[in-house]
Amino acid sequence: MLRVKEGNRGITFLDFCEDYLVCPFTVVVFPSDLKHVGDVRQLQGKMVEIHGLVKEYDGRAEIVLERAGQLTGDAGQIPPLPKGYDVEKKGRYSAGKFSHPKTGRKTKKKRQSAPGQTEEQIDPMGTEQ
């Protein structure tokens, strides 16, 4: 395999050609499957065999890699994902950290009529009845 590339929304592509746009075949790993497959970044530059159903997508053939059992050859024993790897943040942030949201602008409260008065008790001229 030539290159492992992360695309939009954490989808990982395993490319077998220099220019992936003209390559007739690719392997796709969805973020939800990465925990079952392992650290596919370790596959770059290795000779791999991938078994699975070949489907057509956007005019190209692809295999969706869903579990480690689909890999054989040099790739048969890839390590699991690191504990701090966050698929949606592409591995840059720990999934366990939380930051508080920034405080927004304070809104002004609506003015209310004096307590104990209702609209029926006040006439349009502003005098009480």
Domain count, the chain: 1
Strand 54-57 and strand 25-29: pairing? unpaired
Asked if the model's pLDDT at residue 64 lies above 90, the reply is yes
Residue 16, token pair as written in the block: 């077998």
Could you tell me if residue 120 is inside a domain?
no
Segment 28-54 shows an average pLDDT of 87
Is 22 exposed, middle or buried (CB count within 10 Å of its CB: 0-12, 13-18, 19+)? exposed
Could you tell me if residue 92 is inside a domain?
no
Could you tell me if residue 94 is inside a domain?
no
Q: How far apart are CA 91 and CA 10, in angstroms?
A: 9
Could you tell me if residue 90 is inside a domain?
no
Segment 59-87 shows an average pLDDT of 77
pLDDT-based confidence at 93, cuts 50/70/90? very low
Could you tell me if residue 18 is inside a domain?
yes
What is the domain range of residue 57? 3-77
Could you tell me if residue 38 is inside a domain?
yes
pLDDT at 91: 47
Could you tell me if residue 121 is inside a domain?
no
pLDDT-based confidence at 129, cuts 50/70/90? low
> Which of 12-21, 26-35, 43-52, 70-79 shows the lowest mean pLDDT across its residues?
70-79
Could you tell me if residue 53 is inside a domain?
yes
Exposure on the CB side of residue 3, measured as CA atoms within 13 A: 10
User: How much of the chain exceeds pLDDT 90, in percent?
Assistant: 12
